Structures are given as structure tokens and as C-alpha cells.
Structure 1
Amino acid sequence: MDVFGSVADLYETARPGYPAAISAMIVDYHGGRPDTVAEIGAGTGKGTEVLATLGAPLTCIEPDPRMATLLARRFPSATVHTGTFEDWTPPAGGVDVLACAMAWHWLDPATRNTHARRALTPTGTLAIFGHRYDYAEPGAGDAVKAVLHAVDPSVGERPVDWFHRDVVEHGQFTDVRKQVLHRELPLNREEYLALVRTFGPFLSRTPEQQRAALTALGRLVDDLGGTIVLDLRTTLVLARPDQF
């Protein structure tokens, strides 16, 4: 997950935040405001912005020291644990809400659901949420995919709302619910390319591939009139630990 540390400041300015409604959805599902909240892979605090409004003591777990430093500056009242979720020791009895924004895929698929269930109180709530960057203009999404595949044919993306299926199929949680929010997000050329530069698949490519992708995507935005409109799909998955 430490791939993002080199672009921590850009990540904070370029990545869109989450709808404030997520906080109310968590409270409604949980049956009231939680007493304790922990966040996995908090990054620079995009998800933390929402979780902080729950009004509970907040622990943020972030393995990259550069991201954790920025996070601590932004949220001085939060406890920041610089390390992995697997290395973190939950408080005795667990936390009321365990949240994860755009970081579930960085956890070990074989153990993440089990670790999450064990970190929660028996009546706790798991809250996983994240964005999917679709496109409002007809054909824009296909054009972006064509550009990226021309640079690197191995580029792919996860299925829509894959983490909902992941939680259901692993059987560690019950009463699994999914809520989806949409909003349009227009970005100019500079804003869109800045966003692309914060994506993990982009950061993992060679400098030559990165330059080629940015050049081609810049031309694409120019062809669209200088603005590309994202259909920002935000999915929230809520679940309770199963009592075996």
C-alpha cells in the first residue's frame, strides 16, 4: 500500500471525497452513534473526513509513513497507527465500527474478512466504501480503456462492487447491505490527469508508460472539449459480525 506515499500531497488534492450521507447511513445501520471507530488504510484522510463526523474516538491505520504524517496533521484528534491492519492490535472487546475506504483490495483476500470480524465488538458494524470512476459521456469510458490498453495491454479493473461480493462469499458477516450513490464530477484536463497520477495501476507502471498514458489521455480530454465528466459511483457495504 506504500505505493501512494510518493504522491501523498497530490492524492489529497486530486482525489474526490465521499458523500457526507455515508455517516448517517452508518449510524442508521449501527442503531446509533458508535463509541469507537477504526479505519483501515486511511491514507491522507479522504474516508476519515466522513468517519470523523460520527463523533467517536477514531483510530486510523495507515502503513505508509508519508501518508500517515499528512493524515496526523489533518486530524490531530485521531490516533494514527503507522503500520498494517494485520499488525494492529484492536482494543479489548473490539471496536464498534471498523471502516475501510478504497483500501480493502490491499488486504490479504484469504484473511481480511476474518481479521475484520475479530476486530469488531459482537454488535459492531463493518463499513467498506469506495469510488468507481465511470464516465458520463457516451463512449468516453471505452476511449479511456483503449488508451490505457494501448500503453499496457495488461491493464484491467475489478468488477463493479466487488467488495460486496467478497464480504458475502467469505461468510464472516451477516445482514450484508449495499447502498450506491452517484454524482457527476466534471474535471478539466489538469484535474483529470492529476487524478490519474494517484491511481495504483498508474504508479506501478514504468516512467515511459506513465508519460505515454498522460499524453494520450490529455489528447482525449482535449478532444472532448477540455472537460471530462466522471460518473462517480460510490458504494457503501455494511455488515455485522456473524456469531458462530
Structure 2
Amino acid sequence: MTSRALSFGSVAAAYERFRPGYPGALVDAVLAYAGGPVATALEIGAGTGKATRVFAARGLAVTATEPDAAMLAELERHVPDSVRTVRATFEELPLTSTYDLVYAAAALHWTRAEGRWERAAKLLEPGGVLASFGGPLDLADPGLEDAVRCARAPWLADDDVPSPDGTPDSAAMQWPGTELSRSELFTDVRQVELDRRTTVSALDYVGLLSTVSAYLELPPIDREAAFGRILAVLPPQVDVVGDITLHLARLASDG
């Protein structure tokens, strides 16, 4: 796991405050795909529990794992007592328990590529479901998005996390669906798009940017300068597009 992947703990409270949650429609899509009872779930890289809450609210027994102590502490303040928490990276999890569902919310790309799918398969019950979901948080107005890009340019050219397998954004099937489709361990790979839109103040949008790993890697003085320049080009309220791409796959019978 890279230092960028472990950079969020320093802004755990801001992550909880400014990052959007996940809609119930996401859980609906996962459970509909499963097509049968889903009693137990393992969450990889749970962060502050944005996704944990919506799955636990449906009665699933969720084990939420997170390597960063500050993020896990924030999660424990917001999830029900029914959620079991474990401080560990995906790679550190013992392969002694299996689950009906293994899922990750904007976290799977931080896991180590080597052995990723083999480990996920070993954590699933026969016929179990793997779900991965997330998406960029962009301004709905392309002109504003360009203005923000120009404002941050002296300090940061790009704030995206590149696709782990190099799949371009224009491709019909995105990662991790690309790798899952090639894996013999999984079958019935699907990609589902879910709308997620919100309107926030300019200050809250900059607060959201303060939880993005690319900005967290900047020296503090540069980060604050970039945020000041970005805030100067924004109107008081901005519309944010945070559409979710959901990937689903089922453990193959011989997985």
C-alpha cells in the first residue's frame, strides 16, 4: 500500500464531513445482483464508514476493515454497534473467514495488484459476490472545471487516480471490470452506473478537495495556496457530479 493510500488519516474528520455518502440504490443493485440471501459482508478500506452505514442499515453483518487508525476511529463514531471493525490492510486480513459479499468503496485500487483477485476469492463463500464502486467528484459546469484546473496548475496538474491497468476513461468497461472479466476466478461481471448529484457551497467543495490524495501529497503551503486560488474562481454554490460506477462479479464455481 502506497503512502498516498495512507494519506487520509490526517483529514479523517474532513473526510467524514465533506465526502458524499452512498445512496440506498447502490445497496439495491448489489442485493438484486446477488439474487439470494446476503447475511455477511466484508468491507475493504472502509474509511469513515460512508458505505458501511448503508449496507449495515439493510441488516447485513458487516466487518469493516481499514488500515488507518484515525479513519477507523472516525468510522466507529458513526456506524451501529452491529458493525465489527478491524484495523488491517486487505493484504493483512487472515483468510480464515468467508463472506457472502466482499465490497470496496473507492478503495480497491489502493490494494496490491499481486494476488488481489486470488485473495478476494478466498474471502468469499461459494457463489459469493464481489462489489467495487466509486467515481470522481467533478463540477457539473465544464467551464468551472476548467477554471479550477487552471487555478491549481502551478501546484498540481492532475488530481485523478489513474486506472491500475491503464484503461482509458473513454473505454466502455472500466477497471476493475476489465481485470475481473479476464480472471477465471470470477464470472458474470457487470458494470452499473448510478447517478449521484449534489449542490454544495464553494467552501465545502474546497473542503472536499482537501480530502483528495493528490492535494494531500502537496506541501501544506502549496496546498493552501492552491485552495485559495481555487476558491477565488468559484461562485458561492456549485453543482457536483459524483456518479457511481459499480462493478459486480460472482465467484466462479471452481474459484
Q: Same fold (TM over 0.5)?
A: yes
> Match for residue 31 of structure 2?
27
Shift of 1:58: 1.1
> Match for residue 6 of structure 2?
2
Q: 1:77 aligns with which of 63, 78, 82?
A: 82
Map Cα deviations across residues 140-167 of structure 1 (whole Å, 9 max, x no partner). Answer: 2222233333323365443544333243
Contact 2:26 2:194 in 1 (8 A): no
Contact 1:124 1:241 in 2 (8 A): yes
Contact 1:151 1:213 in 2 (8 A): yes
> Match for residue 233 of structure 1?
243
AA paired with 1:12?
Answer: E
Task: Give the TM-score normalised by structure 2.
Answer: 0.87
SS of the residue 1:74 aligns to: coil
Shift of 1:173: 1.7
Contact 2:91 2:112 in 1 (8 A): no
SS of the residue 2:121 aligns to: helix
Shift of the 172–147 alpha-carbon distance from structure 1 to 2, 3 Å rule, reads farther
AA paired with 1:70?
Answer: E
Superposed, which structure 2 residues align to 1:141-152 within 5 Å? 141-152=145-156
AA paired with 1:226?
Answer: P
Distance 2:99 2:53 in 1: 19
> Match for residue 108 of structure 1?
112
Give the helix-richer structure, 1 or 2. Answer: 1
Q: 2:233 aligns with which of 213, 217, 220?
A: 220
Map Cα deviations across residues 166-189 of structure 1 (whole Å, 9 max, x no partner). Answer: 433445321111111123311211
> Match for residue 192 of structure 1?
205
Does 1:205 pair with 2:218?
yes
Distance 2:43 2:24 in 1: 16
> Match for residue 41 of structure 1?
45
Distance 2:196 2:190 in 1: 20
Distance 1:200 1:153 in 2: 13
Query: Which runs of 5 or more residues in structure 1 are unaligned?
Result: none
Does 1:67 pair with 2:67?
no
Map Cα deviations across residues 184-214 of structure 1 (whole Å, 9 max, x no partner). Answer: 3112111101100011111111112201210
Does 1:123 pair with 2:133?
no
Distance 1:162 1:144 in 2: 26
Query: Which runs of 5 or more residues in structure 2 are unaligned?
Result: 163-167
